[in-house]
Amino acid sequence: MYTDVVTNLPKGFSDIDTASQAIGFLMPSDLQTGALLKSLAGSKPKAQLLEIGTGTGLATAWLLAGMDAHSSLVSIDNESSYQSVAKRILGHDARLELVCADAGNWLEANEDHQFDLIFADAWPGKYANLDATLRSLSVGGLYVIDDMLPQPNWPAGHGDKVDKLVADLESRNDLHIVKLAWSTGILIATKR
């Protein structure tokens, strides 16, 4: 049967999920987003990937599961208590570099570094520092964001910020964009 039910979880996912619940981390990417990230990472051999917003590492596990042995992933978060879960469970993977820092400052200081796939799952890289983020995206690279459809945890007025972000991305002539009204609402942009 053809469904969007995800059952093939990446290595470490269940341990991260358990640890996330234990520390009260309530902002995980959903399973469909994770499965998509795995497929997109797999489409980029020998790639440099960037994740903005490690959280506890749930999406990180999906990205690593899709990457080949010659790819690398930089994952940034400013909350060490969350990122320590990812470090404990995924930190042995030599392809992964975990950076505990303000992602906005990191993006501005490292915009000369080029990435083949950027998953922006935090305020910086999505609602702030967008230009620096997109300057870091290689030609042919994929920029992926989720939570574009209304979510129960959105603060008042957040929908307006989403609409502005989407309008900004659609107005750019250096991106091809597809909006998917699926999962939590995914937008994928390819740099031209």
What is the domain partition of the chain in residue ranges?
A: 13-191
Does 10 score more than 90 pLDDT? yes
Which residues on neighbouring strands pair with residue 179, listed in sequence order?
187
Q: If you search the block for the tokens 């964009």, which residue do you land on?
A: 177
Does 1 score more than 80 pLDDT? no
pLDDT of residue 3: 86
Does 153 score more than 90 pLDDT? no
For residues 192 and 189, give the distance between their C-alpha atoms in angstroms, rounded to a whole number: 9
Does 7 score more than 90 pLDDT? no
Q: Work out the pLDDT band at 4, boundaries 50, 70, 90.
A: confident
For residues 73 and 6, give the distance between their C-alpha atoms in angstroms, rounded to a whole number: 23
pLDDT of residue 47: 98
Average pLDDT, integer, range 182-189: 95
**pLDDT, tens digit, 9 for 90 and up, residues 53-79:** 999 999 999 999 999 999 999 999 999
Q: Considering the chain, what is the average pLDDT of its residues?
A: 96
pLDDT of residue 160: 97
- Do residues 2 and 56 touch, judged by C-beta distance below 8 A? no
**pLDDT above 90 coverage of the chain, percent:** 90
Q: Which of 77, 76, 59 is nearest to 17 (CA)?
A: 59
Stated pTM of the model: 0.96
pLDDT of residue 122: 94
What is the sign, positive or negative, of the torsion defined by CA atoms of 43, 49, 50, 56?
A: positive
pLDDT of residue 27: 79
CATH fold group of domain 13-191: Rossmann fold (3.40.50)
pLDDT of residue 21: 93
pLDDT of residue 119: 98
